[in-house]
Amino acid sequence: MPTFSHKSVLLREVLEALRPAAGRLFLDGTLGAGGHSFAMLEANPEARLIGLDRDDAALEAAAERLKRFAGRFELHRANFVEVENFVAAESCDGVLLDLGVSSPQLDWAERGFSFQQSGPLDMRMDRRDLVTAADIVNTWPEEELANLFWELGEERASRRIASALSKRRAVRKFETTQDLAEFVSGVVGRHQKIHPATRVFQALRMEVNRELDAVEDGIQAAWRVLKVGGRLAVITFHSLEDRVVKDFARALERDYSVEGEVDRPEFRIPKEPEGCSISRKPITPSEEEIRENPRARSAKLRVVEKLISAQEAQA
């Protein structure tokens, strides 16, 4: 198996946002190969870090990469939605969630994430999970597949693809990434720069790993373990995920609550904002970074600072 190596996206921007310093505790909820964590621990010799990841290969690689910082970090195999099992409420000075798929996951054929080379139709980030992409493609009803490709993949030809898949699997099941990719290409043709199967693969990966659900639950959990004055930094690569993070930040910044079911000015009650975005627009990679790492092209970083405690927010 190749070495688990991944180029961290928006590294400088993350460091500037989270401001690692002596005595501070940070959480990297999507550890990957440990690139962001390494930079945070290196930036200040007294900062501490807790890292989570679902992928056993990623954890192994990160542990090796971070070993020079022994005693200052701890790693756990877990989804970031489980953060409260490892971190006390309002104990972290900074939390990072990088929601992108790592390069090794895309590049290793046996993980089944990519159609660039043939591999099993798997796509599980945590290989302890039971459901694979093959299970979805070969067993889901046609209408549910169409909705999946449309909602998570934003695939315009979702119904045509789902119909064709349903007919084909009745004759022969889909087992490999290359088989599925070539089949989708044959259904829709190649008219754009991106591969015709890109959106279908994206939708399958997000469903297999329940990624959108994890974003919604994970940022809520991350917010609960964040100290007042601490910052939550989230890197997204998908418009739906970015929308979840943006809406979460906007809700924290509202300076009123609404009494009753109808939002009318006379029903609004003054309320202290719980958080504040450090920039109105998402932070994106520089042209230089995109040249060096084309996979960074769609990355967006949003950073929210916690202004009041949970007790104050409920008061």
Query: How far apart (Å, rounded) are the C-alpha atoms in residues 251 and 183?
Result: 43
**What residue has token string 């945070």?**
40
Nearest partner of 215 among 244, 188, 238, judged by Cα = 244
Cβ atoms of 107 and 6 within 8 Å: the answer is no
Q: What is the pLDDT of residues 239-288, one digit of tens each?
A: 899 999 999 999 999 754 444 444 555 455 556 899 999 998 999 999 99
Q: What angle do CA 178, 181, 187 make, to 5 degrees?
A: 140
Reduced to 3 DSSP states, what percent helix, strand and coil does the chain have, rounded to the nearest 5? 45, 15, 40
Instruction: Classify residue 77: in a domain, yes or no.
Output: yes
Query: How far apart (Å, rounded) are the C-alpha atoms in residues 299 and 296?
Result: 5
What confidence score (pLDDT) does residue 171 get? Answer: 97
Burial of residue 178, with CB atoms counted within 10 A of its CB: 0-12 exposed, 13-18 middle, 19 or more buried: middle
Average pLDDT over residues 225-235: 97
Same-domain pairing of 142 and 282: no
Query: How far apart (Å, rounded) are the C-alpha atoms in residues 71 and 232?
Result: 24
Q: What is the pLDDT of residues 38-77, one digit of tens each?
A: 999 999 999 999 999 998 888 999 999 999 999 999 999 9
Rounded to an integer, what is the distance from CA 66 to the centroid of its chain? 22
DSSP element (H, E) containing 303: strand 300-306
Coil, helix or strand at residue 304: strand
Domain that holds residue 196: 130-208
Last residue within a domain, chosen from 146, 179, 208: 208
Query: How far apart (Å, rounded) are the C-alpha atoms in residues 114 and 118?
Result: 8
Q: What is the CATH number of the domain that holds 58?
A: 3.40.50.150
Tell me which of 25-39, 97-111, 183-197, 208-222 is least confident. Answer: 97-111
Instruction: Classify residue 297: in a domain, yes or no.
Output: yes
Q: For the chain, what is the total number of helices (H) and then of strands (E)?
A: 13, 9
Tell me which of 26-30, 103-107, 165-169, 200-204 is least confident. Answer: 103-107
Q: What is the pLDDT of residues 11-48, one digit of tens each?
A: 999 999 999 999 999 999 999 999 999 999 999 999 99
What confidence score (pLDDT) does residue 82 get? Answer: 95
Instruction: Classify residue 121: in a domain, yes or no.
Output: no
Same-domain pairing of 239 and 95: yes
DSSP 75: E
Please name every residue paired with 72 in a beta bridge, in sequence order, or none if there are none: none
Instruction: Classify residue 157: in a domain, yes or no.
Output: yes
pTM for the model: 0.84
What confidence score (pLDDT) does residue 257 get? Answer: 43
Q: How many domains does the chain have?
A: 2
**313 falls in which pLDDT band (50, 70, 90)?**
confident
